[in-house]
Chains A and B, each alone.
Chain A
Amino acid sequence: MAVVPNYDALVEVQLRPGIADPQGATIEKALPVLGFEGLSGVRTGKAFRLSVAAADESAARAKVEDLCRRFLTNPVIEDSVVTLQAAAAI
């Protein structure tokens, strides 16, 4: 297995559909006050960036998805989306 990180991962964690997001709702309520029109459906979340060392992209994805399931999300209330790209060569 590669020791040098060869993939960059972006993990976006969001509340599952149907789970109330009071933070998003509060932000949305502030929008008209600030003069923003035509914006709706505000949902808040978290993003994590990390570097991954793995044999190939599917191994890298499996590793990061395992991390999401066991640690980065609480599956009772949160989902995650993993985006991978090859690390820029130095």
Chain B
Amino acid sequence: MSARIGVVVFPGSNCEYDAVEAVTTLGAEADLIWHGDRSVDRFDAVILPGGFAHGDYLRPGAIARFSPVMEAVEEFARAGGAVVGICNGFQVLTEAHLLPGALQKNRGLTFLCQTVELEVANSDSILTRGVEIGTRLRVPINHFEGNYTCDPATLEELEGNGRIVVRYVDNPNGSVGDIAGISNEAGNVVGLMPHPERAVDPLSGSTDGAVLLRALVESARRVTSRN
């Protein structure tokens, strides 16, 4: 049976169809979840996609974290469900305290829209399980607030416990520790600024994003087969 992946749509999300298309291409069944829904129980994994949820008013993710669906997402994550936040979705996960730290404005104050090189730093998260550490991937970024920051104790904890999932090879935005993506302690919640869903079809210039999303689909499929 295929993994069932739900992609949350907040008012202002704009990468939800890319995410659905990408994971469908990789063999999952995918469907959209409106932010006003109060359950995500019919899915094996949830993606919070990129965009500008609630207009990014106040701070990116600050209002989205109070969308009704987020209570269900938090419960799902606490129960071990796979949750991935991409770009704006990563910002939502930090605001919701499902991941530590915060995403500030990029160093240099420019909106960045380019393909960057990432290095996989952990092979045990839902997005990198089975991917060799050190694997290099070319994946696009598209953000203004992607400069990851956290206090020194949190950074030490992320570094020491293998919770940095992907790093930038050539840091584009000033993120501490070249961090492009992190996981929670259990590895079932991952947030990253780059857009793997935009690097699945060869037409988009790179198919390296499929390496990450395939790991997600596989993680979700294992959940399906357990049910």
List residues of chain A with CB within 8 A of the CB of B58.
71-72
The 3 closest A-B CB pairs, nearest first, are: A76-B102, A77-B102, A22-B109
Looking at the assembled complex, report how far the CB atom of B117 sits from the nearest CB atom of chain A, in whole angstroms: 23
B contact residues, total (Cβ < 8 Å)? 18
Known pairs A19-B149, A20-B174, A71-B62; A76 contacts B101 (CB<8 A): yes
Contact B102 A74 (CB under 8 A): yes
Q: Is the interface of B mostly helix, strand, loop or mixed?
A: loop
Among B80-126, those with CB < 8 Å from A are 94-95, 100-102, 104-109
Interface size class of A (residues with CB under 8 A): 10 to 19
Assuming the contacts A74-B95, A77-B149, asked whether A23 and B62 have C-beta atoms less than 8 A apart, the reply is: no
A86 to B95, CA, bound (A): 33
A26 contacts B109, C-beta separation under 8 Å: yes
CA distance A19 to B151 in the complex (A): 10
Expressed in whole angstroms, the Cα–Cα distance for A19 and B94 within the complex equals: 17
Instruction: Assess whether B54 is interfacial by the CB under 8 Å rule.
Output: no
Determine if A22 and B149 form an interchain contact, defined as CB atoms under 8 angstroms apart.
no
Whether A20 touches B107, Cβ cut-off 8 Å, given contacts A71-B62, A76-B151, is yes
Set of chain B residues within 8 Å of A72, measured between Cβ atoms? 58
Question: Other than the known A20-B107, A76-B151, what 4 A-B pairs have Cβ atoms closer than 8 Å?
Answer: A19-B104, A76-B94, A76-B101, A76-B102
> For A20, A26, A76, which residue has the most chain B Cβ atoms within 10 angstroms?
A76
Interchain CB contact under 8 A, A22 and B105: yes
Q: Which residue of A lies closest to B151 (CB)?
A: A76
Q: Point out the residues of chain B lying under 8 angstroms from A23, CB to CB.
A: 105, 109
